[in-house]
Amino acid sequence: MKKTFKTILFINLIFIFVSFYSYASEIYHKNKLEKFFMDLKKSTNIDEAASIEKNIWNLWSLHPKNKFLTNKLELGTELMENGQHKYAYKIFSNIIFEDPNWSEAWNKRATVLFLMKEYDLSLIDIEKTLDLEPRHFGALSGRAQIYIDLKEYRKALDNLMKTKEIYPLSKGNRVIPKLEKILSIEQI
């Protein structure tokens, strides 16, 4: 009886430790992301902003609790970059099935759908990405690109302006004057 009690106690302590570690890891992840976004918004140097952007992308690409899902996202991203879009789509869909609350899985699937010219489906996944992470400047820029391709310039401009609020030195800012010019010509 004593041995069983000690075993149960030991298992419970391990469970508590793992749960605490997972929770602490998630909090650390969120706090780090908050700091990066504050720094990104205040940045006045393009190189510094690019470095902060890279740090944000790195955090987004790390699952806060599951290294296996992080590895699957990396594999899907490699496949996508190598033009194996259908296989990448399946991997991203599987990740979403396993954790529907990971914004970057939705964003990656939106990206591969964009590359497959499945704009309507990509827009749905972008919306989900933004529901989970409203500051996702990559999703906003991607949605702007879709709207440019669809010649919906007002919507594209709106998304780039939202991106600029989050990321004032975004490379996408260069497109804003072009869209404003197109829209002013359309109003004539």
| Average pLDDT of the chain, as a whole number | 91
pLDDT at 18: 47
pLDDT at 13: 47
Entry pTM: 0.85
Residue type present at position 67: K
Between these two residues, 168 and 6, which has the higher pLDDT value?
168
Per-residue pLDDT tens for 27-61?
A: 877 899 999 999 999 999 999 999 999 999 999 99
pLDDT at 29: 78
Q: How confident is the model at residue 63 (pLDDT cuts 50, 70, 90)?
A: very high
Between these two residues, 26 and 131, which has the higher pLDDT value?
131
* Domain 2-186 is found in CATH 3.20.20.70: no
Structure tokens belonging to residue 171:
């490379």
Helix (H, G, I), strand (E, B) or coil at 164: helix
- Any idea which residue has 């510094």 for tokens? 48
pLDDT at 10: 53
Helix (H, G, I), strand (E, B) or coil at 76: helix
Residues in contact with 36: Cβ distance below 8 Å, sequence separation at least 6, in sequence order: 52, 55, 56, 59
Q: How confident is the model at residue 16 (pLDDT cuts 50, 70, 90)?
A: low
